[in-house]
A and B are shown apart, each in its own frame.
Chain A
């Protein structure tokens, strides 16, 4: 069937980014000033896509021969990805100049990764999910090793590539088994026959492999081994996107698979699995983060524990659960982007100034940055009135309503543990005297990006009700 003009119009967020990649390639080819043009072009691209996604959020439809979805939750994810990527671009402008790793393809790969994330979030077909995942992952493999003169960056890229390719293998094998039983790749068609298929051991094995593959991508324990090394070794701006957009995209694909599971009576099929990895991720992430002195490594473990909290919402398996997952992901995206933005500003060009001790006395030296970092730390720890608190609140409510009260209790305990290492940063900044001079190059674009994320974190913390209502409208 020939796609109609309306379908193209609804797919416009994806098409804008795709066209933007091609235009960026042409700019990079012919312009000697591409280093100055491309970041601002990318930001314009991302912001316009984010705006258009929110504008058309109400037009929910299955398009392109039921390969893709438009509107609804997909567009909310589009907004998170593109707006997050715009902030990452703002952070990158001065950061990559400081590190000395401008090789032209940086922004193009960034746009390409975002395109992959968007395809993951609006796929209605297992092949589309796989294609989006590969597009995103391959871009991340390259970007992780983008600081190619540094051995750590190379190590991160290699580890990420090997383990990521391994996880992709699980996903493909899972898709193959599901296709073998269902004889279709279309997710709505599989959802229709789910009651029959869920008795089939081959189908369940395929689904389990698929979910295991995505557990790698969302960095849940016991599939988390790559996270600390990759997050620490990658350039900070890339870690920012990897830990937020990449994680959100993997969760969006998981939700696409799980939503039909919840809709049938099979919602408890994978609950034991999800509950176990959620518990392990929360506890291991929070406890091991205490021992970290490198800030990026600490945030890597914190990202593992946040994957655990988000999995509580998935395990709850209710409409509120899904809505809370989306809310948590958007809150987490902006909290983490702001934090990594500040880290990238304080980091010096030899990848120094990353340990906790380097932040001592920051409250006196750079009061603005210290105050912003304190906001993000409070938000990540889940202290009101910031977005992190309500993210956790809705997730725990969803768990309690689905009779998983003990899981909510584990979550609360784990966030109590996590308060220690988040607030330690604040303590070091404000209460530890340090006479060493900290050279922080001012970067107004990065500061703008950090302040926008701080604003979003505060807005989501003050008015969470209206946002969760908006999301709940589109969760079926």
Chain B
């Protein structure tokens, strides 16, 4: 028996770049399984890739750190939350926050912050909503909402 929207998926994986490719493809394929089109799936794949890359590179700087993804697939959108423990250097996390806010400081530019800014620019362009939170324990959550381009269930 098939249930109806929304579908919820939770995934937890090691903070290891090796997992990014399988995980992003997994998200894309889950979307296509409920008839979201290939273009939507591809763009979502990019979003997952970029956020996970940042989560791992800046948030998982300890051996047993994990990344958690929760995504829910609604009839007209996908909501995605990616969390990392934020055990990285606090200054790195602030730099990331600035990159999300589009406020990259000159010092960060020189320090090579181009990579995450580029990635987040892409995520911003492909998403209707992008929010970034760090709690008191350094747990970082990035929340993204992507709205479906077409309403009908055509591939």
Pair from one complex? no
Chain B residues close to A by CB (< 8 Å):
none
